Amino acid sequence: MRWTDFKDNRLYYVMNKNEKALSLKIPLKAEKILNYYKKQKKLNKGYVFPFLGSTDTKDAEQIYIRTKSATKVFMGDN
């Protein structure tokens, strides 16, 4: 996720499965988490979470690998 995906307290995204554009209202708990990460906004090259901040944004494979690794850590699947 990038900070540009958020506007007016909503998350805007396109589903990969069917290319459908959607938006979700940001719940209060998620808003608190986003506010925590907002402090590092410039350091992370526009990404919300720091694990992609040092990623080469033109390297799709590197983004995929780092996202997959972080998902495993966050979901406890390691």
- pLDDT for the residue numbered 28: 93
- pLDDT for the residue numbered 78: 46
- pLDDT for the residue numbered 64: 82
pTM exceeds cut of 0.75: no
Task: Name the stretches of the chain with pLDDT < 50.
Answer: 78
Domain region containing 49: 3-75
Structure tokens belonging to residue 64: 């995929």
- pLDDT for the residue numbered 14: 86
- pLDDT for the residue numbered 76: 63
Residues ≥6 apart with Cβ < 8 Å to 53: 40, 43, 44, 45, 47
Phi, psi angles (nearest 5°) of residue 2: -115, 155
Count of structural domains within the chain: 1
